């Protein structure tokens, strides 16, 4: 009689099977697919980063993959008062870079 065994899929097992070069590659791919399949997680992560690491609103929007205005709206719906305006030169430059990336993506489409 054959007994069924449950095989746990682990990053190490996927590397041993030759499907990925290393465990980090497995994890990166899993997170990439997770972000694609569950966009709400991206939004939650962006909100968390916005609140705990004080990233800019533009950076949070980029992390969430939503527009600046949509991110502001999401924060307000959660009772989080958006911080508007750059606090430092570095933050202003980061916001400019994020906006340039968004605009260049829109120009391609």
Distance of alpha carbon 72 from alpha carbon 16, whole angstroms: 45
Across the range 19-38, mean pLDDT stands at: 95
pLDDT for the residue 78? 95
More confident residue, 22 or 85: 22
Over residues 67-107, the pLDDT tens digits come to: 999 999 999 999 999 987 666 777 778 777 887 887 777 67
Task: Give the orientation angle of helix 68-77 with respect to helix 39-52, to 10 degrees.
Answer: 80
């Amino acid at each position: 009689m054959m007994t069924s065994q449950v095989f746990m899929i682990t990053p190490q097992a996927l590397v041993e099977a030759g499907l990925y070069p290393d465990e980090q590659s497995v994890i990166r791919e899993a997170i990439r697919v997770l972000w694609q399949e569950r966009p709400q997680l991206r939004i939650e992560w962006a909100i968390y980063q916005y609140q705990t690491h004080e990233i800019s609103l533009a950076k949070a929007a980029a992390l969430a993959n939503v527009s600046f205005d949509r991110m502001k709206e999401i924060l307000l719906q959660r009772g989080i008062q958006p911080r508007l305006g750059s606090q430092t030169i570095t933050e202003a430059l980061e916001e400019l870079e994020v906006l340039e990336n968004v605009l260049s993506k829109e120009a391609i489409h």
